[in-house]
Structure 1
Amino acid sequence: MVKIIPWLSLAWAFQAAAAPATADIDGAVSQVAADFPQCIVTFSEQARREGISEAIIQSHVQPLQFVKRVIELDRQQPEFTQTFAGYFDKRVTDWRVSKGRELLAAHRPFLQQLTAQYGIPPQYLLAFWGMETNYGGYKGKMPVLDSLATLACDHRRSAFFTKELMTALKLSQRYGFAAADMQGSWAGAMGHTQFMPSAYARYAVDANGDGKADLWNSTEDALASAANFLQHLGWQRNERWGREVRLPKGFDYTLLNEQLPLARWQQLGLTSASGQLLPQAQMQARLYLPAGHQGPAFLGYQNFDVIKRWNRSNFYAISVGHLADRIAGAGKLHTPAPQQPRLSHQQIKALQQQLNALGFDSGTPDGILGSNSRNSLRAFQASKGLIADGFPDEATFKALGLNP
């Protein structure tokens, strides 16, 4: 079995339990800045032990710079939670759809070759490309080695980022990448498809045959690498990601946690978003309501779970899937994402505390509405005769005795 390291899109990975105070951020910045000279010594010693050449150590390790902004971004958490509409509408845009269709036409023969080899349809590769870097329009401008070194010198995830730094140095040594050319995200993700160094080392493909896998400058390498990675994640050939669906009146929302065959969902009254019968298939599917019962509903298949191994966010997976559908010629959502108020992390934390106080265990209050919190919220909603969709709407806040 291939061990998958899902460190590509990193926004989900670095959320703190609560937004740290400015003093805490300043303290972390000061600590890492003070430790950084010794960290360079430590990195150099480890690089030698791992067989990295002295030339790379002198050209890539010794000049490493502490980047204050990296620590600030690592410690910061938005004050407000993201709504589905706020996320989706900024990512599945008319421009991104039309550009994806244009690139589909331009790269069709090559993309079809990738489909034959890896089993990933062209529209999905383009959707990932569009979501990650706007089709290469913005690949990040942070110095990757400096960012990785800064995070490796920080005690929070030192072991992980030290390993990523060493891997990035080995990539430079293997392919001749100059340090200045290794630009990416603040957390070290690189290239058209935003691979972390470990993913780059495992799954990058030299598709154009020039002797190196260059995810910054070769579209062919980047798309082939994405296809290779998705295949290793378990992509099911000839299957969709999922689909938008319509729920029947009186739907039993306790089924939200259930994974059922598609045929069973049809028996329960679900149809396609346009009202057509669902396929009579035994493939497993799970229901998602990213904006609650008033928003669009989706069934996610096994490939939906594969997308989530790239990025664990349901919002991300739905956006990738729908963008792929749009690129392939489908229309917009039948039920648009509703505009909903953004809730602060403090509001969510208060909700969690109140649920716990009422005997609906949501775990340690952290201001993040995860699966445990949603499960307890559904149980509370059901106890009050509310629609038990696990979504914190105004009626739910009021039933909890809280101000939304």
Structure 2
Amino acid sequence: MRILPLALAALMVPATAFAQCGGSFSGFVKSLKQEALTAGYDRATVNGFFKGASQDPKVLRADRAQGVFQKPFIEFSRHLISQNRINRGRAMAEKYDSTFRRIETTYGINRGVLLAFWAFETDYGSFQGDFNTRNALITLAHDCRRPELFRPQIFAALELYKRGNFDPAHTTGAWAGEIGMVQMLPQDILDNGVDADGDGHVSLKTSAPDALMSGGKMLSHLGWQAGQPWLQEVTIPAGLDLSKSGTDSKLSVKEWQRMGLRAKDGSLAAGSLKASLLLPQGHKGPAFLAYPNFDVYFEWNQSFTYVLTAAYFANRLEGASIYTAGKPDQGLVGAQMKQLQQKLQRLGHDVGKIDGILGAKTRAAVQSEQQRLGLPADAWPTPALLNRL
């Protein structure tokens, strides 16, 4: 989630002047309208945008039911990646070759990277979500779980409406307010929207060139480095110090080479480039080196499993072979993962919310306990670790 542009932010009154979340829904909408008027929007625009706004209980149910992210990497990636999706991706690359050439020249984003997002977010535009975007954003901002993330997006959508690029009654998208073929939030559209087809509008729902160019511009602004890799499958030697694995540990490629890491195919990147060793299902499963561009993925989505799968799929679309799955140790599921998080919390670790999802904080806590107990410190929780704790 990005902040408002300076020009718009300057018009915004201090957040403390208005209710940030909760209370009656109608009262909350009334407060938003008043804030918009105070920020300088005319009454007709404000009334037009908020007319018919309603709370959407389906949005709240979707927000609380993200069970797909509980799946481990191998299962998750096999669920999302099929030969049909690869074939369609390559067909789309050919169909929109001129657009991808513009993106590669202008922003330095490989086509495989955008194709992977396009595939995962909307299946190449075939299903973009049917939630009313305005209502979804207001519903999530009114809900007091993460108002700081969604409240600014309401005013970004209002600005898009003022510019003629948003229909509050009919614009639809994902439950979390993302719009279009590559699912961008209103603020991201304001910051990075590109009219690539030259029709005078930024139409991410109906124009693939607009959506792809806008996605490329956003990745560039998030820090993507042209000409650099993002992810590469590697083999690891026996006896490797596994405590050096994980997204928080970054060593030079030359250091990884000295420790015995080798590229599965081809050669590793330049020796001075920093990289992290990722073992999504422990040292007996797939292994990858994640280069600096991989960090940009987390600006698009916070789920480790999702971004790793998206980065791997980008490689596949550009010709990489299928990863070696290996034979990972059995992991934890559902109630077991929550039990693990509770035990780690009692031991003094900050694992965030007890949600049964193996997120970054839980992985770090697992790795710490593995080191303490003399187990392979690969951050992959197993029933054996759970029993030891």
Q: Within 1, Cα distance between the matches of 2:387 and 2:43?
A: 65
The 5 A counterparts of 1:4-403 are 5=2, 35-76=24-65, 78=67, 81-257=70-246, 258-274=249-265, 277-335=267-325, 340=330, 343-344=333-334, 346-355=335-344, 361-362=349-350, 366-367=354-355, 368-400=357-389
Match of 1:17 in 2: none
Match of 1:27 in 2: none
Report the RMSD for the aligned CA atoms in angstroms: 2.7
Q: Within 1, Cα distance between the matches of 2:274 and 2:188?
A: 28
Cα displacement (A) at 1:98: 0.9
- Per-residue CA deviations over 1:194-232 (Å, capped at 9, x if unaligned) read 111111111111111111111111111110001100111
- Per-residue CA deviations over 1:231-275 (Å, capped at 9, x if unaligned) read 11111111111201100111111211421111111111011124x
4+ long deviations beyond 6 Å? none
Q: Give 5+ residue unaligned stretches, structure 1.
A: 8-30
Cα displacement (A) at 1:168: 0.5
Q: Within 2, Cα distance between the matches of 1:87 and 1:334?
A: 15
- Indicate the SS of the match to 1:181: coil
- Indicate the SS of the match to 2:245: helix
Q: Which amino acid in structure 2 is aligned with residue 328 of structure 1?
A: E
Residues 46/350 of structure 1: CA separation in 2 closer, same or farther (3 Å cut) = same
Q: Give 5+ residue unaligned stretches, structure 2.
A: 5-20
Cα displacement (A) at 1:376: 3.4
Cα displacement (A) at 1:313: 2.2
Residues 342/225 of structure 1: CA separation in 2 closer, same or farther (3 Å cut) = same
Range with greater deviation from structure 2 (140-149 or 84-93): 84-93
- Per-residue CA deviations over 1:353-385 (Å, capped at 9, x if unaligned) read 43465x574556724544443333223323444
Cα displacement (A) at 1:176: 4.6
Match of 1:25 in 2: none
Q: Which amino acid in structure 2 is aligned with residue 255 of structure 1?
A: K
- Per-residue CA deviations over 1:315-374 (Å, capped at 9, x if unaligned) read 222212221111112221133686955512x423432443465x5745567245444433
* Structure-2-length-normalised TM-score: 0.86
Residues 340/196 of structure 1: CA separation in 2 closer, same or farther (3 Å cut) = farther
Q: Within 2, Cα distance between the matches of 1:333 and 1:272?
A: 12
Residues 6/269 of structure 1: CA separation in 2 closer, same or farther (3 Å cut) = farther
Q: Within 2, Cα distance between the matches of 1:295 and 1:152?
A: 40
Q: Within 2, Cα distance between the matches of 1:398 and 1:156?
A: 33
Q: Which amino acid in structure 1 is aligned with residue 250 of structure 2?
A: Q
- Indicate the SS of the match to 2:163: helix
Range with greater deviation from structure 2 (72-81 or 222-231): 72-81
Residues 93/286 of structure 1: CA separation in 2 closer, same or farther (3 Å cut) = same
Aligned residues of 1:85 and 1:339 also touching (Cα < 8 A): no
Match of 2:7 in 1: none
Q: Within 2, Cα distance between the matches of 1:364 and 1:157?
A: 14
Q: Within 2, Cα distance between the matches of 1:52 and 1:336?
A: 58
* Structure-1-length-normalised TM-score: 0.83
Range with greater deviation from structure 2 (326-335 or 300-309): 326-335
